[in-house]
Structure 1
Amino acid sequence: MVRGTYTIVVNLPEPETLTVGSLGRQELPPGYYAYTGSAFGPGGFKRVDRHHELAVGERETRHWHIDYLLGDTAARIETVARSPEAEIECAVAREIAETAAVVVEGFGAADCDCPAHLHHHADRDELVAAARGAHDRHG
């Protein structure tokens, strides 16, 4: 089983208001979001498959903050960057934050001291380039 760090880039076509666990109500503008997570737990990168299943309605259970965005909105996964066997989740998230228009405070960062692991950008290509570049530099 392969483990590592991943970033999924999600298209949110319209503004959404979500209630996300202990983070409460979140107002999200339309655009593209990069969510960086760890796949070092049981199953490794199968976690990314689970995110895809939730986004297309094949799964219902919410475990992580990202599940609320993927399962409760019209959001769709555009692409995934992966760094096998590299534990670089926080470094990648911090680098992506430098290019983000919006940092969704606390989102995905419950177990670290990062401001967030979910970042918004209006331009898909810039966000994808930032995510892939961060994985390349830190992986």
Structure 2
Amino acid sequence: MNESVFYALYRIERELIGIMSLDAGVYIAVFYMPKDRKIQIGQLGRFRFHQGVYFYVGSAQLNLSARIERHNRKKKTLRWHIDYLSAKVEMLGAITIPGPRELECQLAKELGGMFELAVPGFGASDCRCVGRFFFVKDLAKI
């Protein structure tokens, strides 16, 4: 194996081990909306959410598991867009991926190619993404 390739793989491995030891990475939280309803999402506004499954892309560069647990709690200080929604609907689970914060926008772009953007700007006040919250009504599409 080429020495530079070996060194590159070693660096990637070290970075991932470092990220995993920090309990850090990106995640997709999955929520279920049992019926259509309107929910106020902070200063973003009041939106109508249809019955179905929603995917939220987020990241935490420290305490990733605590961030996901927060999304599952109903009582919390409402700080982020997702807090307003997660306090009112059921979280089905989350998929975590060790990696840098930049992966969050890449992942949101990929999901945006597969699913409908639920609310423009949702979860994306700190980047240039059109949003990080996606909707699918037909579970057969998953």
TM range (shorter): 0.7 to 0.9
| 1:22 maps to which of 31, 38, 43 | 43
Q: What secondary structure sits across from 1:67 in the alignment?
A: helix
Q: Which residue of 2 aligns with 1:5?
A: 26
**1:63 and 2:75 matched:** no
1:17-58 Cα offsets, whole Å, 9 max, x none, are 111112111111110100000111x4333100111123xxxx
Distance 2:24 2:139 in 1: 26
| 1:50 maps to which of 65, 70, 76 | 70
Q: What secondary structure sits across from 2:40 in the alignment?
A: strand
Bigger Rg, structure 1 or 2: 2
Q: Which residue of 1 aligns with 2:4?
A: none
Q: Which residue of 2 aligns with 1:121?
A: 136
1:90-122 Cα offsets, whole Å, 9 max, x none, are 011111011113431010000001110000001
Q: What secondary structure sits across from 1:45 in the alignment?
A: helix
| 2:113 maps to which of 91, 98, 106 | 98
Q: What secondary structure sits across from 1:33 in the alignment?
A: strand
Q: CA deviation at 1:5?
A: 0.2
When the two chains are superposed, the root-mean-square deviation of aligned CA atoms in Å is 1.6
Q: Which residue of 2 aligns with 1:134?
A: none
Distance 1:3 1:102 in 2: 25
Which structure 1 residue ranges, 5 or more long, are not aligned?
128-139
Hey, which of these two has a bigger chunk of helix by percent? 2
Please say if residues 108 and 118 of structure 1, whose CA atoms lie closer than 8 Å, have aligned partners that are also in contact.
yes
TM-score normalized by the length of structure 2:
0.77
Distance 1:4 1:105 in 2: 23
Q: Which amino acid aligns with 1:85?
A: G
Q: What secondary structure sits across from 1:111 in the alignment?
A: coil
